[in-house]
Structures are given as structure tokens and as C-alpha cells.
Amino acid sequence: MRANRLPLLAALALGLTAAAIAMVFFYAPVDADGFNQKIFYFHVSIALTAYVCFGWGAWKAFVHLWKRKPGADLESYVAIHQGVIFGVLVLVTGSIWARYRWGHWWVWSSNQLVLFLVLFLFYAAYFMLRYSIEEGARRENLSAVYAIFGVVLIPVSWLAIHLAQDIIHPVVFTSHGPQLGGSELVTFVVSLAAVLSLAACMYHVELAGKRLDARLRSLRELLA
Amino acid sequence: MTAYLADVRALAHKDLVLELRARDTLPAMLLFVLSTLVVFHFVLPADSSALAAKGLLWVAIVFTALLGLSRAFAAEREQGVIDGLVLAPSDRSAIWLGKAIAILAFLGLAEVVALPAFAVFFSGIDGPTVAAVALADLGICAVGTLLAGMAAASRARELLLPLLFLPLAIPIVVGGVGASVSSHTTKYLGFLALYDAVFALLAWASFEYVVTE
């Protein structure tokens, strides 16, 4: 992304986030579950954004292995880094929601929370892997293969966690999804757009920083 | 195709002969799985159910496999054999398949001892459990061999493998425990077969990138 577009994206993210917060608090009605249900607008948006980041990271990893495009490895890494940040936010917001809805900070019956815990462990190991290999082609390849495994693990783990419900917790809480009426749906779409644009903005900022870093290092090596 | 299979056979044969001469992985796995079962006796309180023990069996299997996998590429790394194998005029995925077959043989042998020992110490082993163990072994070896190759290329080595492997092993544990303790056995066995197919294909296709630059 050209440098002059980044402030525009940042302004868009800021505007959408402000609009989303205002709509969540003042426009969307309080539903039967009470006020705490409002965290749902951010919790679900953040979760979807984290999936998008992981998927984007795996796609860039695939491009790296397929086309050997320079820079794809860095893009893949930055996307996964953003995915982990949003993944941690999913755990935090989900935990807060669980506390006010069910009275516990952690509920194993919430499939989405358990899935994000597994994904968090998986992608935390991605960083361990990446930083225990010397910079170079080998590190790029291994990171790419692991990132692609991650995007396959998401549906497989989702299925596994659904299957595990039968053996581990036969009947616990029935978590019916909130019924989305007109104004709730609009609020949710604005929240989702806000979090997605925020993620895109952070992705480009981090990428620009990392590219600058690499460029500076190569210039220093030329001077030395 | 026949040339590919001959390569795989030669590579698996090499690992089995090495193990037969040096005997450093299999005895360790056997002793480890037996010690783990003894530890489980002290872990389970007196009135816990047989189902809890069956769940723990899967802990023993996954960790025994990890023990074997952490040694999987030790010989290749220490002697620099992996460079020779990569330079050899064969498909790189044959290295993965040969190694996975050898690890599968070790894990299978460890379980031939571990499952009867479990039946003696705790409760009987039924058909679905044996089927689930067999299916889980395929997935563990397919994924584990690829990850062991990754871990061998890193500085952290053996330290890294459990971190990479356990999140990927969670679906295997769900399928295995489900098949052992639930009455809907086919559902869980089907899930294990699906896992094996998906991840074996992925590992087969991507191993080349793990050993080359």
C-alpha cells in the first residue's frame, strides 16, 4: 500500500470504530439477555477478523511456496501476528461475556472460546518456531508450511470440539445465538467493518515498519 | 510409481535396521509407556471410573509417540545424513513417508505392549478402542514426522516438538477418547479417518519445503 493511503485507512478505521461504539451503546436495543449481550457485537466481529487474518496469512504462505514471491513471507508473518492479537482479544471478550452471562470466567461449553484457545496455542508455537530458526529461506519455508497447517486445523478443530461436547459435557448451557433483528444486524455489520478496517490498518502499519526495518538493515550491511 | 515405493521401502528399511542395531528409541518408548501407566494408578483416586482411565490411556499414547518422534531425525541431524537424502535423486516426500512408516512401526510395537498392560492394570480394552488407536497412530505419525523434521531444523530442537505437536494432536485425542468411551463409535472413528486423510495428504505435499531451501 502506498504511504499516502495509510492515513486514509487509519481515518476510516477510526471513524468506523467510533460509529460502531456509538451504535452499540445508543442505537442497538438491549435484548432479553440484558446489557452484557452488547459485547457480542465486538466479540463476534473480532473472532471473524481473527479468522480472516489467519486465512490471509495462510494464503500469503501459499503464495510464498508457490510463486516464491519476495515479501510474501513477511506479509504472512504480519497477518498471523495480527491474528494472534485479535485471537487474544476474542479470549478476553469471550471470558468477560461468559462471566456476566453464566457466572464463570471460563466455560468449556463455549465452542468458540475453546477453539480460540487451541488456535492461540497453535499460533504461539508458530512464533517459537519462527524465532528459533536463522533468518533465511529455511525459516520462510517452515513458517509457510506451519501457517498452511493452521488454516486446515481451524475446521478440523472446530469439528473435533463439536464432537467433544457429547463426551465431555453432555448437557450444559444452551447458548442460543442472539436473534438479529434489523437494527441489531446493522450495528453488527458496522462493528464488523470497524474491526476489519482496524485490522487492515494495523496490518499495513506493522508491515511498513517491518519493511523499513529490513531496508535499514540492508543499507547498514552495505555501509559496513 | 514402483521406483517411488522402492525409495520409501529403502528409507524405512534403513531406519528399522538402525533401530535394530542401536536400539535407542523403542526400548525407551516401551519403558516410558509402562512408567506412565504406573503413574496413572497413583493419579486416579480410588472411586474414579474406568472411563477416566480410558481417557488417560490417550495421554500415554500421545506422549509415548512424542518421545519417539523427538528422536526421529536425530541420526539424520547428527551425521548430516539429511543433506545426503535431500540430494538423492528421489522425491523428497519419500523421506517423509519412509520415516513415518518407521515411526509407525515403533509406536505400534510400543502399543502392542501398552494396550495389554493397560487391560491388566485398569480395565479391558474393547474393539473400538483398538481401532481408534490404529487410526490415531496413522495421524500421529503423519503429522508428527513432518513436525519432527521442522523441529530438527530449528535451534530449539526437541524442546519445540511438543509445542508444535500438541495443538495438532487435540483432534486426535477427541476422536480417540470419543471412540473409547462413547456409544457412537463410528462417528469418532470416521472423524479420525478424516483427520488422517486430510493431514497425511497435507504433510505429504508439504514435506519437500521442510527439507529444502
Mean pLDDT of A48-56: 95
* C-alpha cell of residue B163: 509445542
- For residue A30, tell me if it sits in a domain: no
- For residue A151, tell me if it sits in a domain: yes
Q: Residue A170 has what pLDDT?
A: 45
pLDDT in tens, B118-135: 999 888 788 899 999 999
Q: Residue A173 has what pLDDT?
A: 44
| Chain B residues 11-70 with CB within 8 Å of chain A | none
Mean pLDDT of B104-114: 95
- Is B181 an 8 Å CB contact of chain A? yes
Q: Residue A3 has what pLDDT?
A: 60
- Confidence at A172, pLDDT banded by 50, 70, 90: very low
In angstroms, the CA B53 to CA B42 distance is 11
Q: How far is A56 from chain B (nearest CA, A)?
A: 18
Residue A175 has pLDDT above 70, yes or no: no
- Confidence at A118, pLDDT banded by 50, 70, 90: very high
- Is A142 an 8 Å CB contact of chain B? yes
Q: Are A153 and A122 in contact (CB under 8 A)?
A: yes
Residue A146 half-sphere exposure toward CB, CA atoms < 13 A: 31
Helices vs. strands in chain A: H and E counts, helices first: 6, 0
Q: Residue B164 has what pLDDT?
A: 95
Number of domains in chain A: 1
Q: Are A49 and A135 in contact (CB under 8 A)?
A: no
Q: Residue B48 has what pLDDT?
A: 80
Single-letter residue type at B149: G
Q: What is the CA radius of gyration of chain B?
A: 17
| Percent of all residues in chain A with a pLDDT value above 90, rounded to a whole number | 59
- Cβ contacts from A onto B, under 8 A: 98
Q: Residue B13 has what pLDDT?
A: 93
Mean pLDDT of chain A: 87
Q: How far is A140 from chain B (nearest CA, A)?
A: 9
- Confidence at A180, pLDDT banded by 50, 70, 90: low
- For residue A175, tell me if it sits in a domain: no
Q: Residue B23 has what pLDDT?
A: 87
Domain of B46, in residue numbers: 2-211
| Positions of E strands within B46-155 | none
Distance from CA of residue A82 to its chain's centroid? 6
| Chain A residues 43-62 with CB within 8 Å of chain B | none
| Percent of all residues in chain A with a pLDDT value above 70, rounded to a whole number | 92
Single-letter residue type at A52: V
In angstroms, the CA A210 to CA B26 distance is 46
Domain of A201, in residue numbers: 3-24+36-167+186-223
In angstroms, the CA B107 to CA B114 distance is 10
In angstroms, the CA A66 to CA A69 distance is 8
Residue A171 has pLDDT above 50, yes or no: no
Q: Residue B158 has what pLDDT?
A: 83
Contacts of A119 in chain B (CB under 8 A): 167
Of the candidates B151, B164, B209, the beta carbon closest to that of A144 is on: B209
- For residue A177, tell me if it sits in a domain: no
Residue A149 has pLDDT above 50, yes or no: yes
pLDDT in tens, A195-209: 999 999 999 999 999
Nearest Cα residue in chain B from A130: B154
Nearest Cα residue in chain B from A149: B202
Contacts of A118 in chain B (CB under 8 A): 167, 170
* 3-class secondary structure, A174: coil
Contacts of A156 in chain B (CB under 8 A): 171, 194-195, 198-199
Contacts of A121 in chain B (CB under 8 A): 163, 166-167
Mean pLDDT of B167-195: 92
- For residue A116, tell me if it sits in a domain: yes
Number of domains in chain B: 1
Residue B145 has pLDDT above 70, yes or no: yes
Element (H, E) at A147: helix A137-168
- Confidence at B90, pLDDT banded by 50, 70, 90: confident
Q: Dihedral angle at the C-alpha atoms of A142, B161, A90, A179, nearest 10 degrees?
A: 90
Q: Residue A15 has what pLDDT?
A: 94
Q: Residue B62 has what pLDDT?
A: 96
Q: Residue A127 has what pLDDT?
A: 95
Nearest Cα residue in chain B from A138: B213
CB contact under 8 A, A121 and B167: yes
Nearest Cα residue in chain A from B200: A149
In angstroms, the CA B196 to CA B135 distance is 7
Q: Residue B212 has what pLDDT?
A: 85
Stated pTM of the model: 0.90
pLDDT in tens, A53-94: 999 999 999 999 999 888 899 999 999 999 999 999 999 999
- Is A160 an 8 Å CB contact of chain B? yes
Q: Residue A174 has what pLDDT?
A: 47
CB contact under 8 A, A129 and B154: yes
pLDDT in tens, A16-45: 999 999 998 888 877 766 777 788 889 999
Q: Dihedral angle at the C-alpha atoms of A194, A197, A203, A204, nearest 10 degrees?
A: -140
In angstroms, the CA A24 to CA B146 distance is 46
